[in-house]
Chain A
Amino acid sequence: MIEVRDLTKRYGDLTAVDHVTFTAQKGEIVGFLGPNGAGKTTTMRVITGFLPATSGTVKVEGFDIFDDSHEVRKRIGYLPESPPIYADMTVTAYLQFVGRIKGIPRAALNDAVDRALERCGLTEVTRRVVGHLSKGFRQRVGLAQAIIHEPSVLVLDEPTIGLDPRQIRDIRSLVRELAGQRTVILSTHILQEVAQICQKVVIINEGRVVVEDQIDHLTQGAPLEEVFMRYISGGRGEEATG
């Protein structure tokens, strides 16, 4: 479970995230939707503890990200916008390294690596060097890295960006499979993606949450695109872009 309350992040004069509040329940896949530059990545970086918040609180599984940063980091799996891979390592060596720094005991490490390889469809490429893999496979390696320590919360920053249609379909179904009992936040600016995988949507624009609702309730039959455009142009019409 993730609770974001009144989260604000400023970079100097620029307010990237402005009093953002939303929650993601256990077992829920939340689509974090917004135009480019809306503050999605910044919010996710704060949730994962990579960046500190200027003000506001974030709780992950009941632990405050500032006071119990270590506990939070144990429970989060995070896939940044570009997968954090070491291009010169083989897939297995890379996952073993990640498993080690994520605190998996030595005895359980090989099993955890095998399980992550299996689940992310990487069994064919275990001995390949990560830097030589296709973009789709790199994204799978990124997902494997995020789930290797069985986190209860998954934070995925634009997991399908830059992939071809077939890879996009594969990654989406993979995300659905991996979700299970976890809390998942997935950022994207692709509307169909949210409609396909998420139960709930949080739309953010210019650093503010403009709507937080269950998808079925929000759209009520209307196309999500219309709803999205309505919300991101509402209020501050002259600045809104798609």
Chain B
Amino acid sequence: MRNILAIAAKDLRSQFVSPIAYVVLTGFLLLGGWFFFNLLARFNFLLNMYLSFRNPEAMERLNLNEFVIAPLLHNLSVILVILVPVITMRSFAEEKRSGTYELLMTSPISVTEIVLGKFFGAFGFVLIMVGLTAVYPLILVLYGDPEAGVILSGFLGLLLLATAFVSVGLLTSSFTDNQIIAAVSCLVGLLLLYVISWPAETAGANLGAVLKYLSLTEHFGEMVKGVIDTRDLMYFGSVIVLALFLTQRSVESLRWR
């Protein structure tokens, strides 16, 4: 446990002494702020329009959760697909390139400890990322009346999504000593998981259901709607555990190649 923490703290720290952390956080919050501002402006516009039309039915349907928070979370999830590979690309690739991999691998720590240390280091970073976006719903709670439960469920979904992305990123980083290759293959993998359900409607009942189940968006979408289902939690859990397990195998393979 102590070794895991030591590696996690080292990795998290090294993100913040390099400019990467600040570029990623600034970009994430800048884009997030832009989405939030525009969604809010549109909400305001619709509200004023329905008010002037004296349309109480449309007014009923208009709520902050569905018109601001949900699209905001979906937009943020797309940004995470692009930014998480940038966070995780260094984790193994950089160690291999700089020769510190030899230090880690010849220290009396297990491969599992190394992988979990790397995982918690990167997880800490996405926790900060997602945590900082909490400012948007906070503004809504201060000035409006959104449903808190749905917001929490949605942000929990966003965090789980980011954590699953991190695990996939660690896996691709463990394959190579080239950060660009690590980042690009992670990005491609995540995008594939994102759009895998597109042919679901036309692919026939069985295959369609499988593709839908594999898709990250389907499960994330449920949580954004405020539904915390064990099926979705299981899905994210499986992606995380499977990717970490494969990472552990990939790192360990050095010892039996």
Contact = CB atoms under 8 A, between A and B. Distances in A.
B231 interface: no
Nearest to A76: B106
A208 interface: no
A86 B108 contact: no
Contact of A50 (B3, B98, B102): B102
Nearest to B105: A50
B250 to A, nearest CB: 15
B107 A101 contact: yes
B109 A85 contact: no
A52 interface: yes
Interface stretch (B10-18, B78-86, B176-184): B10-18
A145 B103 CA distance: 9
Given A88-B18, A100-B6, A101-B3, A73 B100 contact: no
Contacts of A51: 254
A80 B105 CA distance: 12
Nearest to B16: A88
B257 interface: yes
Interface in B210-257: 254-257
B18 A73 contact: no
A82 interface: yes
A56 interface: no
Interface in B190-227: none
A107 to B, nearest CB: 12
Given A100-B3, A100-B6, A103-B108, A86 B18 contact: no
Interface residues of A, number: 30
Contacts of A89: 10, 14
A78 B106 contact: yes
Contacts of A70: 108, 110
Interface string A89-117: 10000000110111100100000000000
B104 interface: yes
Contact of B14 (A49, A86, A145): A86
B256 A73 contact: no
Contacts of A85: 98, 100
Q: Which of B7, B10, B17 lies at the interface centre, i.e. has the most chain A CB atoms within 10 A of its CB?
A: B10
B54 interface: no
A232 B99 CA distance: 30
A84 interface: yes
B103 A84 contact: yes
Interface string B95-120: 00011111111111110000000000
Interface residues of B, number: 25
A169 interface: no
Interface in B1-44: 2-3, 6-7, 10, 14, 17-18
A50 B110 CA distance: 12
Nearest to A83: B99
Nearest to B117: A101
Contacts of A98: 103, 107
Interface in A33-61: 45, 48-52
A153 B256 CA distance: 24
Contacts of B257: 52
A73 B6 contact: no
B99 A84 contact: yes
A69 B17 CA distance: 34
A87 interface: yes
Interface of A: 45, 48-52, 69-70, 73-74, 76, 78, 80-89, 97-98, 100-103, 106, 145
21 contacts: A48-B102, A49-B255, A50-B102, A50-B105, A51-B254, A52-B255, A70-B108, A70-B110, A82-B99, A84-B103, A85-B98, A86-B14, A86-B100, A88-B14, A88-B17, A89-B10, A101-B6, A101-B107, A101-B109, A102-B107, A103-B108
5 nearest CB pairs, A to B: A84-B103, A100-B6, A73-B108, A74-B108, A84-B100
Given A101-B109, A145-B103, 12 more contacts: A45-B102, A52-B255, A52-B257, A73-B106, A80-B102, A84-B100, A84-B103, A86-B98, A89-B10, A89-B14, A100-B3, A101-B6
